[in-house]
Amino acid sequence: MCLEDIIRVIKGRRCVRSFREGEIPNEYIHKILEAGIWAPSGGNIQPWEFIVVRNRDMIDKIKLVSPGLFGDPSVIIVVCINLEKAKRGGRIGESMAIIDVSMAAQNIMLVAYALGIGSCPIVSFSKTAVKELLDIPKYVEPILLITLGYTDKWPNPPARRPLEEVVHYEKY
């Protein structure tokens, strides 16, 4: 196994908010998305839908409605849940789907990093506006945006709450 490698990727990944120009090859986008669909999903429903936006004008339009989006990424992946599929999970279907796509997003960002590509997950954006801009149907809900791009500015890691603070043994 390749434990040290995976830990290096998990710890090395940063939220990148300053990108340089540089096109991301299609085969990289493919590998990145392929990682997404190998996340687990509740009841194996796989409620995810991904929209890959490369068009510069559209990226600028999305930026205008996304206060949480910084920098000029080469690509935005809009990570959505398909509500028609999610409802197969019953009462907890939608909340389960949000967990599923978040796990897929983490896979996406890890593989992006392993490819030398910076990323950042963004939840602060207007869902209504993004739905309209990208012709997203009523039964599909965007949950987060992931920016992708090359960078010369890998940020320093923000301090972590230490394990002793966040881990509780046997009881809280």
What residues from 103 to 122 belong to the interface with a copy of itself (CB under 8 A)? 103, 105-107, 109-111, 114-116, 120-121
CB atoms < 10 A from the CB of 61, how many? Answer: 17
For residue 156, state whether it binds a copy of itself (rule: CB under 8 A): no
Interface size with a copy of itself, residues (CB under 8 A): 73
Compute the least distance from the CB of residue 30 to a copy of itself, in Å.
7
Helix (H, G, I), strand (E, B) or coil at 53: strand
**Which of 20, 137, 153, 154 lies at the binding interface for a copy of itself (CB under 8 A)?**
137
> Which region holds residue 71: left if phi is over 0, alpha if psi is between -120 and 50, else beta?
left
H/E segment holding residue 105: helix 93-114
Are the C-beta atoms of 50 and 36 separated by less than 8 Å? yes
Residue number with CB closer to a copy of itself (21 or 138): 138
Residues sharing a CB contact under 8 Å with residue 156, sequence separation 6 or more, in sequence order: none
CB of 170 to a copy of itself, least distance (A): 6
128 is an interface residue for a copy of itself by CB under 8 A: no
Q: Residue 113 is encoded by which pair of tokens?
A: 């990093």
Q: Does 8 participate in binding a copy of itself (rule CB under 8 A)? A: yes
Contact 13, 35 (CB under 8 A): no
Least CB distance from residue 126 to a copy of itself, whole Å? 12
Quick one: 43 or 72, whose CB is closer to a copy of itself?
43
129 binds a copy of itself (CB under 8 A): no
The residues near 43 (Cβ < 8 Å, ≥ 6 apart) are: 88, 89, 96
What residues between 23 and 82 interact with a copy of itself by CB under 8 A?
30-31, 33-35, 37-40, 42, 44, 46, 48-55, 58, 80
